[in-house]
Amino acid sequence: MTSRVSRRQLVAAALATPAALAAPRIARAQGAWPARPVRMIVPFAAGGGTDVLARILANDLSTRLGQTVLVENRGGSGGNLGMEAAVRAAPDGYTLLMGTNGPMAVNRHLYRGMNFDPAKDLLPITMAFRIEQTLIVHPSLPVRNVAELVALAKSKPGELTYGSAGTGSALHLAGALFVLRTGTNIIHVPYRGGGPAMNDLVAGNISMTFDSLPSSEPQIRAGRVRALAMCAAKRHHLLPDLPTMQEAGVPNYVAGAWGALFAPVGTPRPIIERVARVVGESLADADVRQRLARSGGDAESSTPEELTRIVQTETEVWGQVVREANITVN
């Protein structure tokens, strides 16, 4: 009798699936996460706004998680190279992506032949920060508000110009959305970054630009440029008297940049939930919020489900802008 029982046990063990045998090991690995350093891919070069803000968050997460969170810069192709590196990484919780609205919601409309789909290949975790934008003009332009700007542009079709950080950039799309919403004909002038565009605006070589608040606010206060509106859904504490674009008479207009954390599809849900929870705790910390604010970011957390809806909404909005404005990069 004893030998028959032993044979049954041997047969059961032989028939057990690899997944079933591996389940206890996977559970132990998840329970111990993180057991080694975690990398956070930033799909842009070091030193830029997204990189600076990501490093502030990564430093705080390192303390809260008890493991180093290493920022890895993988710039190129408008963020696509870094995004693909995250998509191809093992879904074990040790690779996170600091995605922004450009790579996550816009690039699929701009770049042909992308061999991955951010909506299917990456799991949303949580929002991290927003970087708001402003509409600014050269002081010599004879306008004091958005309504006057629109009237001037319509009286001189094709004569006004707006600069951007390059074709397909967030600043370009903000300008393209403005042109579409106001029915104006304002010429786009792309630059190799927001800095050169700002320099040319200050010099009076272009009429206007849409620039990030961290970059434009010092120029506004110095009187080198004139601010007409915030591109955000609500006013900003740094410029409380500056109306939003919608308050200024441009309906259905919101443009800005954001950063959020994503992980490769297949990353265990308990890890996703823990990252979201710890990031929420970090962003609720007054010191972290102040450090982000000093570097131009407004802290903002979310649930994975809320982030999913944000990406879906922006994908639809910017897809329409890209199509209607006929924006292409390749």
Q: How far apart are CA 54 and CA 156, in angstroms?
A: 43
pLDDT at 278 over 70: yes
Q: What does 199-219 look like in DSSP terms, one character per residue?
A: HHHHTTSSSEEEEEHHHHHHH
8 A C-beta contact, residue 172 and residue 257: no
pLDDT at 329 over 70: yes
Helix, strand, coil percentages, rounded to 5, for the chain = 50, 20, 30
Same domain, 146 and 159: yes
Structural domain range at position 145? 132-230
76, two tokens: 């190129």
Instruction: Report the pLDDT value the prediction gives residue 299, as an integer from 0 to 100.
Output: 97
Instruction: Report the pLDDT value the prediction gives residue 323, as an integer from 0 to 100.
Output: 95
- Cβ neighbors of 64 (< 8 A, separation 6 or more) are 278, 281, 282
Instruction: Report the pLDDT value the prediction gives residue 140, as an integer from 0 to 100.
Output: 97
Confidence of residue 31 (pLDDT cuts 50, 70, 90): low
- Cβ neighbors of 129 (< 8 A, separation 6 or more) are 53, 57, 258, 259, 283, 292, 297, 298, 299, 300
Kindly state the percentage of the chain with pLDDT values over 90.
Answer: 78
Structure confidence by residue, pLDDT tens digits, 116-149 = 999 999 999 999 999 999 999 999 999 999 999 9
Same domain, 200 and 121: no
pLDDT at 20 over 90: no
Instruction: Report the pLDDT value the prediction gives residue 113, as an integer from 0 to 100.
Output: 82
Could you tell me which residue, 32 or 123, shows the higher pLDDT?
123
Q: How far apart are CA 127 and CA 138, in angstroms?
A: 34
pLDDT at 5 over 50: no
pLDDT at 21 over 50: no
Question: What is the DSSP pairing of strand 161-164 with strand 187-190?
Answer: parallel
Q: Which of 28-37, 122-131, 187-196, 267-276 has the lowest mean pLDDT?
A: 28-37
Instruction: Report the pLDDT value the prediction gives residue 45, as an integer from 0 to 100.
Output: 86
141, two tokens: 């332009």
Q: What does 215-233 look like in DSSP terms, one character per residue?
A: HHHHHHHTTSSEEEEE-SS
148: CATH? 3.40.190.10
- The DSSP call for residue 104 is I
User: What value does the mean pLDDT take over residues 168-177?
Assistant: 93
Same domain, 123 and 262: yes
H/E stretch holding 43 reads none
Task: Report residue 123 CA to chain centroid gap.
Answer: 14
Number of domains in the chain: 2
* Cα dihedral sign, 118-122-127-130: negative
Same domain, 161 and 92: no
User: What value does the mean pLDDT take over residues 4-31?
Assistant: 44
Cis peptide before 34 (omega within 30 of 0): yes
186, two tokens: 């304002």
Q: Which residue type is seen at 234?
A: K
In a domain, 166, yes or no: yes
Same domain, 70 and 115: yes
47: CATH? 3.40.190.150
pLDDT at 303 over 50: yes
Confidence of residue 188 (pLDDT cuts 50, 70, 90): very high
Q: How far apart are CA 117 and CA 115, in angstroms?
A: 7
Q: Which residue type is seen at 100?
A: T
Same domain, 116 and 160: no
In a domain, 162, yes or no: yes
User: What value does the mean pLDDT take over residues 228-252?
Assistant: 95
Instruction: Report the pLDDT value the prediction gives residue 47, as an integer from 0 to 100.
Output: 83
Same domain, 138 and 105: no
Same domain, 197 and 142: yes
Instruction: Report the pLDDT value the prediction gives residue 275, as an integer from 0 to 100.
Output: 98
pLDDT at 152 over 70: yes
pLDDT at 231 over 80: yes
Same domain, 163 and 182: yes
Structure confidence by residue, pLDDT tens digits, 39-50 = 999 998 888 889
What length is written for the chain? Answer: 330
User: What value does the mean pLDDT take over residues 16-22?
Assistant: 41
Confidence of residue 26 (pLDDT cuts 50, 70, 90): very low
What's the chain's average pLDDT?
Answer: 90
8 A C-beta contact, residue 296 and residue 50: no
Instruction: Report the pLDDT value the prediction gives residue 78, as an integer from 0 to 100.
Output: 86
Structure confidence by residue, pLDDT tens digits, 54-95 = 999 999 999 999 999 999 999 888 899 999 999 999 999 999
Instruction: Report the pLDDT value the prediction gives residue 330, as an integer from 0 to 100.
Output: 65
Instruction: Report the pLDDT value the prediction gives residue 6, as an integer from 0 to 100.
Output: 47
